[in-house]
Structure 1
Amino acid sequence: MKLTLNIYIALMATGLFFSCKKDKADNINKSSLDVLKTSPSNIRLFNFTDFDADMTINNIPLTAYGIKDGTGAAVIGTGNATQLGLQFFPKEAWKAGAGGSPFILPTSLLDKNGRAEIRLLINTKTIDTIIQNNTLQPKDYYLFRKTAQGKDILSYVVLNREANPPAAAENFKVRILNYQQTQDPLGLTGPVTLTYADGTPVHAKLSNIAPNTASEYVELPYGAYQFKLFLSNGSFIDVEKQMTELPVQPDFQSVKPLPQPQQGVIIPVRTYKPGGAYTMLVSAAAMSYQDKYPDGTGDPVRVDFNMNIYRVVADIEPAVNFSFARVQAANAYPGPGLNFMIDGQRIANGLDFGKNSEYYISTRGAHTVSITDASGKKLAEKSLTLYPYDNYTIWATQKKDGSADIVFAAVSMTSAYYETGYGTPSGVSGTDALRKKPYAWSTRFLNLSPDVPLATFTNDHSLFIHYDFYQNLPFSGACNIKSNTIPDVEPFLSYAMGKRTLGISNPAAVGDGSAEKIRVYESTEGRYPELPGKLLASISPLNVKEKFIANKGLYTSASLEPWAEPGIYTVALIGKTVPGAPEGEKARLMVIKHNK
């Protein structure tokens, strides 16, 4: 497709001075050593065009201006890059990337008036403008690619970036920039709304954000979130127009007419850190799909589109978290509701059996955790030492003798695991065997029943299998779990979810594993051939689709539902199995979803 240039300049919105007049740049220090030692300016640039770019700042070339291949990528090794430029762009070009390859101009590249004449060469087209550095208000310069009037064009916009951290140190800020293309093949155009994983809107200020506008920032408590973006109209989100976050692509089927519904999009769990500020940036990006499989040999035919998607951009990189951790309460103690306290501060009030609280942000250090009944009588007390970014569930449990106990369960929000069959360890650390599944159903299993010494959880009537690249073995974290004991080896089972990267998979596609029903057995010490043991038939199995899909209203038909939604979960056996146990105290399986 022929590439033309269309420059969109947000003058009134930003108050930023632009000029196409090519003023002669003032002399500035060109020493690479001096430049690198100076402080950064408040000008940050993002390249979301999918093309590598050449850059000149105040008549100083920073890239090689080398030969480009057919995709617009620079051919490395031309030898034309300056010594100064190589300090910033060692690959001789401003490389395009999913994250926009952000570049912050150093102040020593500005002229004496604090201006930067920026000249960009992108796929044979030139953008030439002047940006004024504002020491009080940071600015972001976004370069986009989109389709307009049937042509593939470039555009840019300059917007204010958040300069102030959140008012509360334990919070983060988030906003939406909606700079979508107006001609989208899937019909993903219009106002957008940010929701939690269950489709609940996050905030009125993050709802119905119109095209070519920016929302205000909203403060939220730091933590693990699975935000989703939907096209919206007033108080309603359109569940058939959910936006994808790169690198996942929109669902496109070449045999179906356009536009095509977008729902059930897989979104990763991400920790938004205390002190940070983030932007949900809606824009177009180039997508490539398999159109058909030709007869005989050869590669499939591909078709390319610019489609609206979104990215998460860090406006303020948070400082190192030295202070904050998160805890939540969960009640596995049969009987009336309980109160949970940390250092005398109540974090859950009258929490019923089988229920859990929201997360409470605490601080690093030693703490006293206690639980009381409705009258205020102390039932149990323990010490807990927290470190930054810890995520703990505080479980109230019952011992065999009927007394109350407290069990602390650390929760990993990363979906990371170690490949058990990974060759020979380096002897230095286990990082060479560490793997992560960002789009995963990640679940741990706990036995918190006072009457079951050892419990084994099964995938229907079969043992759960841990899938990795080297070998597939029964998942030990679901086998022979002792009562009121937290497994410390291989605690989380992670099943990668199917995701659409070529437009040929569907929302219900599975990755490396799946589950339909979860059952629990009373087991005995032994190897895998002796497991799982005796089925606890009085305990209803968990229907995975019922318990691990937050809101079925986000799917217009059962065929579009995944077997489970990705997220961080705990499945716990709680309650009594002894004959005659009161109905409200009988054993059951409890599910907690730890991300929001």
Structure 2
Amino acid sequence: MKITYIGMAAALLFSACSKKLDYTYDNRFIQQPVTASTVRLVNLVGATELTIAGQPLTSFIAPDDEGYYGPNETRATRWFPENGRLGTTFTIPAELLKNGRADSILFSSLSPKLSVPPPRPFSVQEEVNNPSDYYFVRFRPNAAGFTDSLFRIPRAVSPASDPAGFKVRLLNLSSIPAGNSMPGLFRHGPMTLTLADGTAVPGLTNIMPGAYSGYVELPYGTYQFKVLSSEGKEVPASGEYNLLNPVTGTLMDQQGTPGIGGNKDTWLTYAPLKTFQPGGIYTIVVACNYDTKVPTGNPNGETTITENNSFRIIADISEPVNMTYARMQGINVAAGRKISWQVDGQPMGATLDYTQQTTYSRYITGTHIVKAIDEKGQVLAERSLPLQPGDNLTLWYYQHKDGAPAITFSANNLSGKFYGGTATDNGTYGMFKDSYPFWIRFMNFCPDLEEMTFTTDNGLPFPNPVNIPNAAAQHIELGTPVTDNPYVMMFVNFPQRILAYASAPGILPGNWIRTITPLKSRQFIARPELYKTPELPQSEPGIYTVALIGSTSANATEKARMIIVKHNN
């Protein structure tokens, strides 16, 4: 009898456990195992639907009457579990290949407002040892019109030889303008990849239409790559900053200028900031896209969409997560001193004169000892510094009013991400990302001034377009970086002038120091000769530090002034 009771109890226990499984919920997007092939489709025409061998892989739900997809126009599929629509890239699952081959692949769109090239079937053949991409693009090599819109491009999957580096190449699939297009928009012909200041990346220059470069290796970090035509004009990136002047092809900011539909030309060209991860592999592709907006000329600011060559950044493998490396640079802002930096007893760059800085060096995460060394090899100051994965730090050597040496550091946010100023329903703050940031951190290294405030003209505070608490330029203490919302964040341009005020607790902005020359916004332009525009932009995008250095003393050799440090490449 005892055995019977035990058996009944066990049965009840297992029965209760099995009922609990009825209430489980699998919140993974991909809930079934999918083995990827080495063949990837790259959709640069905005297609939303995909069929392979007669099998629909997307949901084939049409958008609303306005051409938009809302909650009612979304239905997940096994292959596209997030929203049922084709995105930019899709790796064909191995189970859809027969003997390594997939036939009758068709791209399409159900939106009448989206100009997708006419669908035509094509086939792919997998070569396991030679991964490849099939780029579906608008391509017009001559005035006769579009020809082949499909390109098979081999893709690398082996990371850079340096584990802290990444690989990047340039793929030029640009088209020439159609007869009815706006010629001022189009940049076409040979293309060159450059850094933010227009310095060409070796090996990625003069790439002809329909061709691609080899991969080059660069140190990981945050870059604002630009693509230049053979005329030296910038090609815009595809993205949210897509309202362009049809005559100049440059970005407009909708601030209201009569005559061109209530918009103002900034003379800038959108190129996003992005952190290229160690071990990552990337293709920067120029192709004709149908996402550029131009003003119609109506006073109410109406716009229309047109085609234009623009570039995108495509990750050729899933971006690795950086769990190993951090980056540091050192700056000398102590007047009358020459110093060098050491990290764990090893030099970080050469000897620095006043205001000079090292290039960035990479370090394994963990705790490191940093030292400022004088010309005789004596240690002036040192501190212990913990490094976390992905950190980007600037070390500052400076002096207090009594001449005592000191080291401080600032953590640079190069991600473009920030928290909004209004809490959501669950008490957290919304996360936002600015891919085209105009951000400034302010630092005070003037030993005569224990506190500083920085303003625009007439002592006015900086505008606050992102609506977060804006104290990043106020009450800046000597050698102490602001850590809570540390950046003044602008939209498109910095104010035309930046002024320095001696403030005090409870006094804002304080006394304007007339002996400190205001910074002008165009001092944030690294190389004015880069711009082939009727006017220079008011400023350049980037992540900056503006530091007050020197002395306000009447007999000082190095007078107080502001310097600019740019942290992205």
Determine whether 1:122 maps to 2:114: no
Instruction: Report what 2:79 is aligned to.
Output: 88
Instruction: Report what 1:531 is aligned to.
Output: 508
Alignment partners' CA distance in 2, 1:149 and 1:73: 32
Aligned 8 A contact 1:226 1:267 in 2: yes
Q: Structure 1 254/366 Cα, relative in aligned 2: closer, same or farther at 3 Å?
A: closer
Q: What is the CA distance between 1:563 and its match in structure 2?
A: 1.6
Paired residue type of 1:595: N
Q: What is the CA distance between 1:553 and its match in structure 2?
A: 0.6
Instruction: Report what 2:216 is aligned to.
Output: 218
TM alignment of 1:236-255, pairs within 5 A: 238-239=231-232, 241-247=233-239, 248-249=241-242, 251-253=244-246
Paired residue type of 1:412: N
Aligned 8 A contact 1:143 1:154 in 2: no
Alignment partners' CA distance in 2, 1:38 and 1:255: 47
Instruction: Report what 2:455 is aligned to.
Output: 458
Instruction: Report what 2:349 is aligned to.
Output: 348
Instruction: Report what 1:169 is aligned to.
Output: 163
Q: What is the CA distance between 1:484 and its match in structure 2?
A: 1.3
Q: Structure 1 179/244 Cα, relative in aligned 2: closer, same or farther at 3 Å?
A: same
Name whichever structure is richer in strand by fraction.
1
Alignment partners' CA distance in 2, 1:426 and 1:466: 29
Instruction: Report what 2:426 is aligned to.
Output: 426
Alignment partners' CA distance in 2, 1:200 and 1:555: 13
Alignment partners' CA distance in 1, 2:513 and 2:448: 12
Q: What is the CA distance between 1:229 and its match in structure 2?
A: 0.5
Of 20, 36, 40 in structure 1, the residue corresponding to residue 36 of structure 2 is: 40
How far does the alpha carbon of each residue in 1:479-501 deviate from its partner, in whole angstroms, 9 at most, with x for none?
Answer: 1111111112221111011xxxx
Of 286, 289, 296 in structure 2, the residue corresponding to residue 292 of structure 1 is: 296
Alignment partners' CA distance in 2, 1:130 and 1:561: 49
Task: Compute the TM-score of the two structures, normalised by the length of structure 1.
Answer: 0.79
Of 225, 228, 236 in structure 1, the residue corresponding to residue 226 of structure 2 is: 228
Determine whether 1:595 maps to 2:568: yes
Paired residue type of 2:377: G
Instruction: Report what 2:500 is aligned to.
Output: 520
Unmatched tracts of structure 2, length 5 or more: 1-28, 110-116, 250-264
Q: Structure 1 294/387 Cα, relative in aligned 2: closer, same or farther at 3 Å?
A: closer
Paired residue type of 1:54: L
Instruction: Report what 1:10 is aligned to.
Output: none
Q: What is the CA distance between 1:426 and its match in structure 2?
A: 3.0
Of 479, 497, 505 in structure 1, the residue corresponding to residue 474 of structure 2 is: 479
Paired residue type of 2:268: G
Task: Compute the TM-score of the two structures, normalised by the length of structure 2.
Answer: 0.82
Alignment partners' CA distance in 2, 1:229 and 1:115: 35
Alignment partners' CA distance in 1, 2:414 and 2:70: 40
How far does the alpha carbon of each residue in 1:321-359 deviate from its partner, in whole angstroms, 9 at most, with x for none?
Answer: 111001001111111321001111111221111122211
TM alignment of 1:149-168, pairs within 5 A: 149=143, 155-168=149-162
Aligned 8 A contact 1:415 1:494 in 2: no
Structure 2 SS opposite 1:486? coil
Instruction: Report what 2:336 is aligned to.
Output: 335
Alignment partners' CA distance in 2, 1:89 and 1:488: 41
Instruction: Report what 1:552 is aligned to.
Output: 528
Q: Structure 1 544/64 Cα, relative in aligned 2: closer, same or farther at 3 Å?
A: closer
Aligned 8 A contact 1:371 1:378 in 2: yes
Alignment partners' CA distance in 2, 1:77 and 1:268: 32
Of 278, 283, 286 in structure 2, the residue corresponding to residue 274 of structure 1 is: 278
Alignment partners' CA distance in 2, 1:289 and 1:563: 22
Q: What is the CA distance between 1:165 and its match in structure 2?
A: 0.6
Aligned 8 A contact 1:264 1:560 in 2: no
Alignment partners' CA distance in 1, 2:248 and 2:219: 44
Of 35, 38, 48 in structure 2, the residue corresponding to residue 52 of structure 1 is: 48
Paired residue type of 1:105: I
How far does the alpha carbon of each residue in 1:231-280 deviate from its partner, in whole angstroms, 9 at most, with x for none?
Answer: 12xxxxx23x2100011337343799xxxx99631322211111101111
Aligned 8 A contact 1:477 1:492 in 2: yes
How far does the alpha carbon of each residue in 1:97-118 deviate from its partner, in whole angstroms, 9 at most, with x for none?
Answer: 5xx2x1111212221x222224
Q: What is the CA distance between 1:378 and its match in structure 2?
A: 1.0
Instruction: Report what 2:363 is aligned to.
Output: 362
Task: Indicate the percent of aligned positions where both proteins have the same amino acid.
Answer: 33
TM alignment of 1:169-208, pairs within 5 A: 169-183=163-177, 185=181, 186=183, 187-203=186-202, 205-208=203-206
Q: Structure 1 305/470 Cα, relative in aligned 2: closer, same or farther at 3 Å?
A: closer
Alignment partners' CA distance in 1, 2:538 and 2:459: 17
Aligned 8 A contact 1:146 1:306 in 2: no
Aligned 8 A contact 2:420 2:467 in 1: yes
CA RMSD of aligned residues (A): 3.2
Q: Structure 1 165/470 Cα, relative in aligned 2: closer, same or farther at 3 Å?
A: closer
Alignment partners' CA distance in 2, 1:72 and 1:486: 47
Determine whether 1:542 maps to 2:519: yes
TM alignment of 1:103-142, pairs within 5 A: 103-111=90-98, 113-122=99-108, 125-142=118-135
Q: Structure 1 540/307 Cα, relative in aligned 2: closer, same or farther at 3 Å?
A: same
Instruction: Report what 1:441 is aligned to.
Output: 438
Aligned 8 A contact 1:369 1:384 in 2: yes
Paired residue type of 1:580: N
Paired residue type of 2:445: L
Q: Structure 1 142/424 Cα, relative in aligned 2: closer, same or farther at 3 Å?
A: closer
Alignment partners' CA distance in 2, 1:301 and 1:324: 45
Aligned 8 A contact 1:117 1:131 in 2: yes
Q: Structure 1 331/128 Cα, relative in aligned 2: closer, same or farther at 3 Å?
A: same
Q: Structure 1 394/75 Cα, relative in aligned 2: closer, same or farther at 3 Å?
A: closer
Of 537, 547, 560 in structure 2, the residue corresponding to residue 562 of structure 1 is: 537
Paired residue type of 2:451: L
Aligned 8 A contact 1:243 1:262 in 2: no
Q: What is the CA distance between 1:448 and its match in structure 2?
A: 1.3
Q: Structure 1 469/410 Cα, relative in aligned 2: closer, same or farther at 3 Å?
A: closer
Q: What is the CA distance between 1:317 and its match in structure 2?
A: 2.2
Q: Structure 1 70/156 Cα, relative in aligned 2: closer, same or farther at 3 Å?
A: farther
Structure 2 SS opposite 1:393? strand
Determine whether 1:308 maps to 2:309: yes
Paired residue type of 1:326: R
Alignment partners' CA distance in 2, 1:65 and 1:415: 35
| Bigger mean CA deviation after superposition, 221-230 or 571-580 | 571-580
Aligned 8 A contact 1:47 1:144 in 2: yes
Q: Structure 1 36/589 Cα, relative in aligned 2: closer, same or farther at 3 Å?
A: same
Paired residue type of 2:152: V
Q: What is the CA distance between 1:417 and its match in structure 2?
A: 3.4
Alignment partners' CA distance in 2, 1:159 and 1:595: 30
| Bigger mean CA deviation after superposition, 261-270 or 397-406 | 261-270
Paired residue type of 1:114: G
How far does the alpha carbon of each residue in 1:173-195 deviate from its partner, in whole angstroms, 9 at most, with x for none?
Answer: 11001011133543422111111
Instruction: Report what 1:283 is aligned to.
Output: 287
